Amino acid sequence: MRVLAAMSGGVDSAVAAARAVDAGHDVVGVHLALSRMPGTLRTGSRGCCTIEDSMDAQRAANIIGIPYYVWDFSERFKLDVVDDFIAEYSAGRTPNPCMRCNERIKFAALLEKALALGFDAVCTGHYASIVTDDAGNRELHRAAAWAKDQSYVLGVLTAEQLAHAMFPLGATPSKADVRAEAAERGFSVANKPDSHDICFIPDGDTRGWLAEKVGAEQGPILDRSGQQVGTHQGAHAFTVGQRRGLSIGVPAPDGRPRFVLEVRPKTNEVVVGPKEALEVAELAGSKHSWAGLPPEHADEWFDCDVQIRAHADPVPATARIHEGELVVRPHEPLGGVAPGQTAVLYVGTRVLGQCTIDRTVSAVPVG
């Protein structure tokens, strides 16, 4: 197969590209230039897709012996990931930019261009596995190393995208094995730190970055009854479940800490309440997709596990499609759920599908 290997400049994508070559594929490496500031340099483990990362990727491609190119996707990345992130926060939602990047850049824009150029698949260094069932249908599954499993952020992939995806690291027992292999191959990135935080906010100051982009306007902090208990300096700076930095002037009657329960951007209000009010009995989203074949009777309740963050534990639940929404009911109330997050459904190790959460139903009624 002709394979386009997406090479971020990290150890995982370098080893994945090398394994694709070892498997006998005709491989070409490509680095995606996503930053609007091409002079940006990486700071330790913060940031990615920088000039430094591009050079690291090229050195690895040279050692592997494959052609290497840099493609400028910065405009598409700004529109589909950065601007979406700003819009979601402005709407009082908590977006996941890594999900959007995988959905709209790596497995939409990149795959579209790869197929147009005659490639059969896109190879990445994600820790996930693709399994083909007896009927030839491809399924997305967790990686062998659950500690590094990245199937959650790939939950947005569709059956058609899975048909052209390749994850050579899926069966690797640990990240240490990947680093050891990289060292044996002579890759300079063998001990390069993993990137974390939001790549386009490399200093990690999301609140300050958003304040510059959308501005900050003072507004009220309300309790669940609608009584004002404090003042905030910009609703965009708050996310559901947040405890610190609330600046509440009126203590709770029971003296217990309060948490952000809701952000209302249209009225510039932030609603706070007790921790137990964060527990959710139901979540739903109209923007949903299936990673392969959907359940046979998706409009009827079916058993599954639901995961709402990349490093959260999956919890038992039931789900169904109802009136255009994917509705999920965890068996036990689920905490820390916010609109804008992604709920990924699993059956065993298989990723069944996902939805972007539009609404939640609290397990604790007001009053």
Name the helix (H) or strand (E) containing 58: helix 51-64
Q: From the CB of residue 157, how many other CB atoms can be counted at a distance below 10 Å?
A: 30
Give the angle subtended at the CA of 119 by the CAs of 293 and 76, to the nearest 5°. Answer: 80
Residues 278 and 53: their CA atoms lie apart, in Å, by 40
Looking at 101, 123, 304, 355, which residue is catalytic? 101
Catalytic, 101? Answer yes
Q: From the CB of residue 348, how many other CB atoms can be counted at a distance below 10 Å?
A: 9
Q: Which positions ≥6 away from 99 have C-beta within 8 Å?
A: 153, 155, 156, 342
Name the helix (H) or strand (E) containing 130: strand 128-132
Looking at 49, 199, 304, 355, which residue is catalytic? 199
Measured in whole angstroms, how far is the alpha carbon of residue 104 from the centre of its chain?
A: 12
Counts for the chain of helices (H) and strands (E), in that order: 9, 19
Name the helix (H) or strand (E) containing 5: strand 2-6
Amino acid 42 reads R
Task: State how far the alpha carbon of 30 is from the alpha carbons of 103, 220, 224, in Å.
Answer: 18, 48, 51
Catalytic, 355? Answer no
Q: Which residues are known catalytic residues?
A: 101, 199
